[in-house]
């Protein structure tokens, strides 16, 4: 998943590339032990949270497989990682294509010998009223968010079991609460939650851990690509509550949660608040959220 912000500011090779290069500098304040020499494969890794996660794990000594459909951005990111002395490979993949997912994961396994951590991060969103939204939009959102994660997990499962690895799913607070004007997006994230909480039960005795991450508002490029009712990128501005966290701060929390083998990580103060209000007073939450987001789809 990749929320709002300037796309160029989160890509290798863009005008903010110097910032990304600085972020790749080795860290001396954290022990490089938890994921040292582990293989971490990340979808949607050419920008946003995916790229920030790749930076974080690379600094801790992991080998990184950058998986994305943007070949140009991937090549720039791969070169940046190599320039910084990190082990990384780039694999082009459209996660809506099961054959491409299988090939991409096989390529990573053949290159590195296996996968220890699979980060299902690739995502897309939509902003439009359900009654106005074409059915094809729901299909596209589900294809990227839900089936993309399913395909990659299926392909990597044997290796993850063999290496007693970890699956990290970048879900959303919208996967555990309702969200007005994003019925397709929320449905795909709820589906992810059902899939991976259930899969966790199947994999626990096999030694594979599942961490579900639910970001709130993070400053990335997801919202600049949000689909409208007709399937084209919408020009309607996004509504949000509170400020936006950075991909880097999200990656820090995700890494720490992975080290601690947490089951669920809710990101941002407003994300945590929304999660707990929706649990304690769901009707109140629905009314508050509806009031805040109604103008967005008028």
- The set of long-range contacts for 14-18, using a CB threshold of 8 Å and a minimum separation of 24, is 17/76, 17/80
Cβ pair 63, 37 in contact under 8 A: yes
| DSSP calls for 193-224 | HHHHHHHHHHHGGGT-EEEEEE--SB-SSTGG
Residue 245, SS3? strand
Query: What are the residues whose beta carbons fall under 8 Å from the beta carbon of 18, sequence distance 6 or more?
Result: none
- Report the C-alpha gap between 241 and 216 in whole angstroms: 9
Residue 41, SS3? strand
Cβ pair 34, 62 in contact under 8 A: no
Q: One of 86, 151, 185, 285 is an active-site residue; which one? A: 185
- Report the C-alpha gap between 72 and 74 in whole angstroms: 5
Cβ pair 187, 85 in contact under 8 A: no
- 275 assigned to active site: no
Q: How remote is the C-alpha of 256 from its chain's centroid?
A: 16
DSSP state of 263: S
Cβ pair 242, 269 in contact under 8 A: yes
- Dihedral of the CA atoms 133, 134, 135, 139 (nearest 10)? -90
Just list the catalytic residues: 185
């Amino acid at each position: 998943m990749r929320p709002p912000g300037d796309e160029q500011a989160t890509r290798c090779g863009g005008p903010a590339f110097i910032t990304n290069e600085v972020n790749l500098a080795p860290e001396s304040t954290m022990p490089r032990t938890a994921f040292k020499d582990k293989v971490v494969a990340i979808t949607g890794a050419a920008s946003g949270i995916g790229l920030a996660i790749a930076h974080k794990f690379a600094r801790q000594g992991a080998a990184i497989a950058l998986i994305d459909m943007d070949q140009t951005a991937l090549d720039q990111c791969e070169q940046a990682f190599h320039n910084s002395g990190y082990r990384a490979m780039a694999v082009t993949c459209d996660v809506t294509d099961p054959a491409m997912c299988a090939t991409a994961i096989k390529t990573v396994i053949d290159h590195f010998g296996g996968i220890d951590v699979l980060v299902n991060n690739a995502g897309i969103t939509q902003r439009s009223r359900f009654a106005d939204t074409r059915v094809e939009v729901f299909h596209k959102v589900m294809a990227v968010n839900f089936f993309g994660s399913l395909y990659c997990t299926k392909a990597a499962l044997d290796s993850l079991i063999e290496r007693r690895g970890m699956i990290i799913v970048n879900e959303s607070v919208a996967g555990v609460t309702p969200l007005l004007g994003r019925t397709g997006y929320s449905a795909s994230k709820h589906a992810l939650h059902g899939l991976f909480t259930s899969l966790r039960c199947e994999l626990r005795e096999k030694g594979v851990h599942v961490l579900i991450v639910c970001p709130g508002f993070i400053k990335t490029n997801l919202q600049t690509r949000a689909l409208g009712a007709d399937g084209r990128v919408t020009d309607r501005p996004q509504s949000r509550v509170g400020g936006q966290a950075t991909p880097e701060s999200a990656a820090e929390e995700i890494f720490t949660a992975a080290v601690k083998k947490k089951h669920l990580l809710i990101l941002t103060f407003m994300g945590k608040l929304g999660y707990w209000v929706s649990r304690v007073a769901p009707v109140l939450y629905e009314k508050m959220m509806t009031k805040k987001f109604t103008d967005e789809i008028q």
